[in-house]
Amino acid sequence: MKPEHFSERIVEVDGWQVNLTTYQLGDKWHTKADNVSPGAALARIVADTREDAEARALARAKELLSRTKRHAV
Amino acid sequence: MGASYAHPEVLVDTAWVASHAQDANVRVVEVDVDTKAYEESHVPGAIAWAWNTQLCDTVVRDILPKAAFETLMAQSGIGNDTTVILYGDNNNWFAAWALWQMKMYGHQDVRIMDGGRKKWLAEGRDLDTTATPAKPGAKPYKATGPDYSLRAFLPEVQQAQKSGSVVMIDVRSPQEFSGEILAPPGLPETCQRGGHIPGARSVPWGKSCNDDGTFKSAEELEKLYGAEGVAKSKPAIAYCRIGERSSHTWFVLKYLLGVEKVVNYDGSWTEWGNLVGAPVERGAAKAVAQA
**Comparison of pLDDT for B134 and A9, the residue scoring more:** A9
Dihedral angle at the C-alpha atoms of B267, B270, B276, B281, nearest 10 degrees?
100
Residues of chain B with C-beta less than 8 angstroms from the C-beta of A2: 124-127
> Can you tell me the mean pLDDT for B29-41?
90
* Closest Cβ–Cβ partner in B40, B186, B204 for A68: B186
- In chain B, residues with a C-beta closer than 8 Å to the C-beta of A44 are 34, 36-37, 40
Say which residues have a Cβ less than 8 Å from residue B127's Cβ, sequence separation at least 6.
Answer: A1, A2, A3, A25, B41, B42, B43, B44, B120, B121
At B110 the pLDDT is: 98
| DSSP H stretches of helix in chain B | 14-20, 37-40, 66-75, 89-104, 116-122, 154-163, 174-178, 218-226, 245-251, 268-272
B56: annotated active-site residue: no
**Whether residue B4 has pLDDT greater than 70:** yes
What is the chain A residue with the closest CA to B175?
Answer: A70
Residue A38, chain B, CB below 8 Å: the answer is: yes
Q: Using CB atoms within 10 A of its CB, is residue B123 exposed (0-12), middle (13-18) or buried (19+)?
A: middle
What is the rounded average pLDDT of the residues B198-209?
A: 96
| b/e code B209-226 from CB counts within 10 Å (16+ = b) | beeebbbbebeebbebbe
Q: Does A42 touch chain B (CB under 8 A)?
A: yes
pLDDT for A39 equals: 66
> pLDDT below 50 — which residues of chain A?
none
To the nearest whole percent, how much of chain B has pLDDT over 90? 88
Longest dimension (CA), chain A: 49
Say which of B56, B191, B209, B240 is annotated catalytic.
B240
Residues present in chain B in total: 291
- Please give the residue of chain B at the shortest CA–CA distance from A16: B185
For the segment B239-254, what is each residue's pLDDT rounded down to a tens digit?
Answer: 999 999 999 999 999 9
Interface confidence: ipTM more than 0.95: no
Model confidence over B118-129: pLDDT tens digits?
A: 999 999 999 999
**Cβ–Cβ gap A34/B90 under 8 Å:** yes
User: With an 8 Å Cβ cutoff, are A41 and B33 in contact?
Assistant: yes
Q: What's the gap in Å between the CA of B239 and the closest CA on chain A?
A: 14
Question: Cβ–Cβ of B126/A61 closer than 8 Å?
Answer: no
C-alpha distances (whole Å) from B175 to each of A14, A62, B246 are 16, 18, 16
Instruction: Give me the mean pLDDT over the B88-93 stretch.
Output: 92
Min mean pLDDT across B1-5, B96-100, B194-198, B272-276 is at: B1-5
Q: Does the pLDDT value for residue B200 go beyond 50?
A: yes
pLDDT reported for residue B138: 79
Question: What pLDDT, on a 0 to 100 scale, did the predictor assign at position B33?
Answer: 82
**How far are the Cα atoms of B35, B56, B57, B68, B198 from residue B53, in angstroms, in the given order?**
10, 6, 8, 11, 33
Q: B181 with B194: CB under 8 angstroms? A: yes
> How far is the alpha carbon of A28 from chain B, nearest alpha carbon, in Å?
11
Whether chain B has a CB inside 8 Å of the CB on A40: the answer is yes
Strands B47-50 and B83-87 come out as unpaired
Range scoring the smallest mean pLDDT among B61-70, B102-111, B155-164, B182-191 = B182-191
- The residues on B that touch A, with CB distances below 8 Å, are 33-34, 36-37, 40-41, 89-91, 93, 118, 121-122, 124-129, 172-173, 175, 178-189, 194-195, 204-206, 245, 282-284
**What's this model's pTM, rounded to 2 decimal places?**
0.95
Say what the pLDDT of residue B137 is: 79
